[in-house]
A = this chain, B = another copy of it.
Amino acid sequence: MRTDPRGTGSRTFGTATRGETVPTVPPASKAADAVDVTALLERGRTLATPVLRAAVDRLAPPMDTVAAYHFGWIDAEGNPADGDGGKAVRPALAVLSAEVTGAAPETGVPGAVAVELVHNFSLLHDDLMDGDEQRRHRDTVWKVHGPAQAILVGDALFALANEVLLELGTVAAGRAARRLTTASRALIDGQAQDISYEHRDRVSVEECLEMEGNKTGALLACASSIGAVLGGADESTADALEKYGYHLGLAFQAVDDLLGIWGDPEATGKQTWSDLRQRKKSLPVVAALAEGGPASRRLGEILAADAKSSDFATFSEEEFAARAALIEEAGGREWTAKEARRQHAIAIEALDAVDMPDRVRARFRALADFVVVRKR
């Protein structure tokens, strides 16, 4: 793992302005050119959503309503809403991975639904633990329905995830549930790390990557293999697909960390300098702090003062822009962009270990490319 953010290579992204931050994908993935990623994402969403809604409908009142609010299917008053379902990368991966084994994409649907349920269980609990009041432009569940409902409905979605898989009653479903449990444990470990890092002045690049691997990598790993497992793939195939998904998750998170500072608010729907306002120790920040040059040291002093400042909430746009400029000057932006490309390359390479139809491989590549070029 490279920890020197100056590392090698030129500062390709050093002069990019907001909204143009995300690294260009190297032209390695030519086969992916022919793939319609939008259609691929839409397929996952179309296959998974009805089954997800039917699963959530099983919850006893008022948990069904609270969950429907969380998913954006109804508003706080209970009226139907057309919620932002997110990018739907995970369901797309889950149904695609079923095709590795020659099975129909539908074979991956219970896996897609289980992964989405686990993801949303963690969002419900993390928002409460972190005191986050907004998600996807709406008040979070604990803010609207109270902390007890956020805990309870999170628990219910977690249980439902296992139910959706185990009720299939097959040996493959048991193996899928086993992998989902491993991913869930990693998610929880990642949240434990995230909480403990908040109370620390310094977090190393390695620690940040480990935390992001747990919080983002593990569940994308599971999403990328669970359909294949349900389709009867052997352990080594599932492991290789997990490797693809894990590194794709790290690439995804690196891009998220770039967008969290330099993303275009119009595209991300977040405030300018969003992660800086939340004092997040994201990859660009920890990489900049690890670099050790003059800008890095100055950044360290400023962030240490910020941590004690009682005026932080009233900081101006310019003050955050100055911090972002120091992170960039210390190489944090460039290092993170390169890290996204590096993780993307490892993900693509992991696919080589798996025998699969060319069409399916091209789709995995296209989804990986999408993850690193997205603007939101």
Contacts and interface: CB of A to CB of B under 8 A. Distances in A.
B166 A177 contact: yes
A191 B148 CA distance: 10
Copies in the complex: 2
Interface in A153-176: 154-156, 158-160, 162-163, 166-167, 169, 171, 173-175
A202 interface: no
Interface string A174-214: 11011001101100110111011000000000000000000
A9 interface: no
Given A171-B171, A174-B177, A155 B62 contact: no
B152 A129 contact: yes
A171 B184 CA distance: 21
Contact of A158 (B158, B167, B173, B177): B158
A63 interface: yes
A121 B184 CA distance: 15
A192 B151 contact: no
Contacts of A178: 163, 166-167, 169
B162 A148 contact: no
Contact of A63 (B151, B155, B181, B192): B192
A12 B355 CA distance: 74
A129 B158 contact: no
A181 B162 contact: yes
Contacts of A1: none
Contact of A185 (B129, B159, B182, B185): B159
A171 B188 CA distance: 27
B196 A62 contact: yes
Contacts of A177: 162, 166, 174, 177
Interface in A117-155: 121, 125, 128-129, 147-148, 151-152, 154-155
A34 interface: no
Contact of A182 (B63, B129, B155, B163): B163
Contacts of A191: 152
